[in-house]
Structure 1
Amino acid sequence: MNQKIYLLAIAFFLTLNSFSQNTYVFLGSYNRDKNAESIQVYQLDTLKGNLTKITAAKNTINPSYLTLSPNGKYLYACTDTKTPNAGSVSSFEFNPENKTLTFLNKQSSGGENPVYLSVHKSGKWLVNGNYSEGSVSVHSLLENGKIDSLAQNFQYTDGSTHKERQTRSHVHSTVFSPQNDYLFLPDLGADKIRCYRFDATLKQPLVATKVPFTKTDLEAGPRHFTFHPNRKFGYCIEEMAGAISVYDYHDGTLKQIQRINTHPDSITSGFESSDIHISPDGKFLYATNRGKENNIAIFSIDEKGLLKNIGYQSTLGNHPRVFALDESGKFLIATNVNSGNVIVFKRNPKTGMLKKVGKEVQMENVSCVQIKRI
Structure 2
Amino acid sequence: MARQEANRWWLVFTGSYTPADREGIETLLFDAERGELKRLAGCGGVANSSYLAFDERRYVLYAVSEHGEGEVAALSVDRATGRLALINRQPSHGRSPCYVCLEPDGSRVYVANYMGGNASVYPVREDGGLLPASDTVQHAGSGVRPDRQEAPHAHSIMSDPSGRYRIVCDLGIDRLMVYRTSPDGKFEPAGAIHTTPGGGPRHLAFHPSLPLLYLLEELSSTVSVYAFDAERAAGELLQRVPMLPEDFKGANLAADIHLDPGGRWLYASNRGHDSLAVYSVGPDGLLTFIGHAPTGRTPRNFVPVPDGRHLLVAAQDDNRIDVMRIGPDGMPAAVGEPYASAKPVCIVMTPAPPELVSAG
TM-score of the two chains, using structure 1 as the length reference: 0.90
Distance 2:103 2:277 in 1: 29
CA contact (8 A) 1:180 1:198 kept: no
* 1:310 maps to which of 290, 307, 320: 290
Percent identity at matched positions? 28
Matched, 1:170 2:121: no
Counterparts of residues 163-242 of structure 1 (less than 5 Å): 163-199=146-182, 202-209=183-190, 212-242=191-221
Runs of 4+ in 1 over 6 A off after TM superposition: none
* 1:46 maps to which of 23, 32, 44: 32
Shift of 1:330: 1.6
Aligned to 2:278: 298
* Structure (1 or 2) with the larger CA radius of gyration: 1
CA contact (8 A) 1:48 1:357 kept: no
Distance 2:320 2:4 in 1: 30
Counterparts of residues 242-281 of structure 1 (less than 5 Å): 242-251=221-230, 252-267=233-248, 270-281=251-262
Letter in 2 for 1:50: E
Q: Gaps (5+ residues) in structure 2? A: 353-360
Shift of 1:175: 1.4
Aligned to 1:4: none
Aligned to 2:304: 325
Matched, 1:31 2:18: yes
Aligned to 2:80: 97
Shift of 1:72: 6.6
CA contact (8 A) 2:56 2:350 kept: no
Q: Gaps (5+ residues) in structure 1? A: 1-14
Larger deviation: 262-271 or 122-131? Answer: 262-271
Letter in 1 for 2:329: T
Letter in 2 for 1:278: L
Equivalent pairs, count: 349
Aligned to 1:73: 59
SS at match of 1:147: coil
SS at match of 2:257: strand
Letter in 2 for 1:275: D
SS at match of 2:324: strand
CA contact (8 A) 1:41 1:54 kept: yes
Letter in 2 for 1:366: P
* 2:113 maps to which of 127, 130, 135: 130
Letter in 2 for 1:271: N
Matched, 1:373 2:351: yes
TM-score of the two chains, using structure 2 as the length reference: 0.93
Aligned to 1:87: 70
Shift of 1:231: 4.0
Letter in 2 for 1:27: T
Distance 1:41 1:269 in 2: 35
SS at match of 1:329: coil
Aligned to 1:7: none
Write the deviation string for residues 147-182 of structure 1: whole angstroms up to 9, x where unpaired.
110111011121111111111000000011001111
* 1:341 maps to which of 312, 320, 337: 320
Q: Measured at CA, do residues 205 and 180 of structure 1 come closer, stay the same or move farther in structure 2, by a change above 3 Å?
A: farther
Distance 1:356 1:217 in 2: 34
Write the deviation string for residues 322-360 of structure 1: whole angstroms up to 9, x where unpaired.
000112222100001112111011112x31011212321
